[in-house]
Homo-oligomer: A and B are copies of this chain.
C-alpha cells in the first residue's frame, strides 16, 4: 500500500494538516494514486500510532483546532526503506475495456458514446497537464531546494502525458472500428 508513504513523502517537504495534504494530493499524487479525506485522516492516525509522524495541535479560540502533522526520524527512515523496496506491478482495472471486450452484445451507438466520453476525459487531462500541472512544477522548481525534486515530478508528469495521448489515440482507432461496423470496403 502506497498511501502512508505518499503522505510521508508530502510531509517530508513541510508539515501539514490532513486537509492540506488532501489539497496537495489533488495537484500531484492524485494522478497516479487516489485518496479520499476520511482515508487520509485514518491513515494519519495509523502513522502516528507507528511513530512515523508527530502531531501538534494548534488551538484557536472559537475555531476547530488544526492538527499539524510532521515526519519523525522514524518516519523518514520508513520512507527511505519503502523507496528502496521494489514497487508492486499495478493491477489495471478499467470498466471501459470490460465493456469493449463484450461490446458485440452492446448497441454500437452506445459503445461509441462511451468511447467518446472516455476520449474527452483523457483529452481534458492532457490539457490540464499542460495548462495547470506543468506550470505548477515550474513554479515549485523556482523555490529554493525544490529544483532537484522537480526533475522527478516532471518524470511522472511525462508518464501522465504519454498515457493520456495513448488513450486518446487508441480511442480514435476504436471509434473508427466500432462505427465502421457493417460498412463494405472495395
Q: DSSP class of A's interface residues: helix, strand, loop or mixed?
A: helix
Chain B residues with CB under 8 A of A5: 98, 102
The verdict on A98 contacting B170 (CB below 8 Å), with A91-B34, A93-B90 known, is no
| Distance, CA A52 to CA B97, complexed state (A) | 22
What is the total number of residues of chain A having a CB less than 8 Å from a CB of chain B? 63
Q: Is the Cβ of B156 less than 8 Å from the Cβ of A100? A: yes
Chain B residues with CB under 8 A of A64: none
| Distance, CA A96 to CA B6, complexed state (A) | 11
Chain B residues with CB under 8 A of A62: none
Chain B residues with CB under 8 A of A67: none
| Distance, CA A28 to CA B82, complexed state (A) | 32
Which of B31, B83, B99, B100 contacts A102, CB < 8 Å?
A: B83
A103 within 8 Å of B by Cβ? yes
CB distance from A56 to the nearest CB of B (A): 23
| Distance, CA A31 to CA B101, complexed state (A) | 11
Q: Is the Cβ of B87 less than 8 Å from the Cβ of A152? A: no
Q: Is the Cβ of B163 less than 8 Å from the Cβ of A101? A: no
Interface stretch (choices A15-23, A105-113, A127-135) = A105-113
Q: Known contacts A151-B177, A163-B166; can you find 9 more A-B pairs with CB under 8 A?
A: A9-B102, A33-B97, A34-B92, A80-B105, A87-B117, A97-B156, A104-B148, A159-B174, A162-B170
